[in-house]
Amino acid sequence: MIMTPGLRKFALTAHVITSVGWFGAVAAFLALSIAGMISQDAQLVRAAYLVMGLTTWFIIVPLALASLLTGIVSSLGTKWGLFRYYWIVAKLVITLLATLILLVHTQPVDLLVSAAEKMTVLGANLYGEQLQMVIASGGALVVLGVITALSYYKPRGMTRYGWRKQQEQNKGMAAKDAATDKAQGVVHEREDNNVHEAAR
């Protein structure tokens, strides 16, 4: 189902806002995770992990899900489709995986938040999780950058499914053209007959 131009622009705007918001929130998360790992200030470290917990559950996870949803709606409602071009399939796969990995990584975030709530100084046994947060958020930024680049560059390549759909559409258009030509031919024939009759 193709959306109206107004609805299409609305869906695309929502998709851009949620995707860019997701990128920005992950960038903030990366800064907090680095501060939490390297800072000597215990209060700053605790505050960083508490804010990271809030950011994860109230900004990053909702934006990731909204970005996925608006992306699917935007592609299905336009001529691009969801499986017709490789760059859209790539975006879908990467976004699905990124969302899945994000949901899995909420567990170590919750662990760090829980530790920050209970302890005044985080133990060295949490260093693995702290490092994991830095690497995961850095990797997420790279992945989200790749997704954004795919959207703007739109690298060429139509899938077999997209090619089949295009062939079907071409056939449909050719049949429609033939029917229109036939109808116009009949009209012109009638016009010619009327001209001849008037001349008599």
Residue closer to other proteins by CB (options 43, 125) is 125
Residue closer to other proteins by CB (options 7, 179) is 179
- Residue 138's CB: how many other CB atoms inside 10 A? 16
> In the complex, what is the shortest distance from the CB of residue 1 to other proteins, in angstroms, rounded to a whole number?
22
How far, in Å, CA of 89 to CA of 85, rounded?
A: 7
Query: Contact at 8 Å (CB) between 78 and 8?
Result: yes
Residue closer to other proteins by CB (options 41, 177) is 177
- In sign, the C-alpha dihedral spanning 100, 14, 25, 56 is negative
> In the complex, what is the shortest distance from the CB of residue 97 to other proteins, in angstroms, rounded to a whole number?
9
> In the complex, what is the shortest distance from the CB of residue 94 to other proteins, in angstroms, rounded to a whole number?
9
> In the complex, what is the shortest distance from the CB of residue 146 to other proteins, in angstroms, rounded to a whole number?
9
Residue closer to other proteins by CB (options 39, 114) is 114
- In sign, the C-alpha dihedral spanning 81, 87, 93, 95 is negative
Query: Contact at 8 Å (CB) between 49 and 133?
Result: no
How far, in Å, CA of 45 to CA of 33, rounded?
A: 9
Catalog residues that contact other proteins under the rule CB under 8 A.
86, 90, 104-105, 107-108, 111, 114-115, 125-126, 128-129, 131-132, 135, 155-158, 160, 163-164, 166, 170, 173, 177, 180-181, 184-185, 188
Query: Contact at 8 Å (CB) between 113 and 52?
Result: yes
> In the complex, what is the shortest distance from the CB of residue 16 to other proteins, in angstroms, rounded to a whole number?
23
Residue closer to other proteins by CB (options 9, 164) is 164
Question: Following DSSP, what letter does each residue of 107-167 receive, concatenated?
Answer: HHHHHHHHHHHH-SS--GGGHHHHHHHHHHHHHHHHHHHHHHHHHHH----B-HHHHHHHH
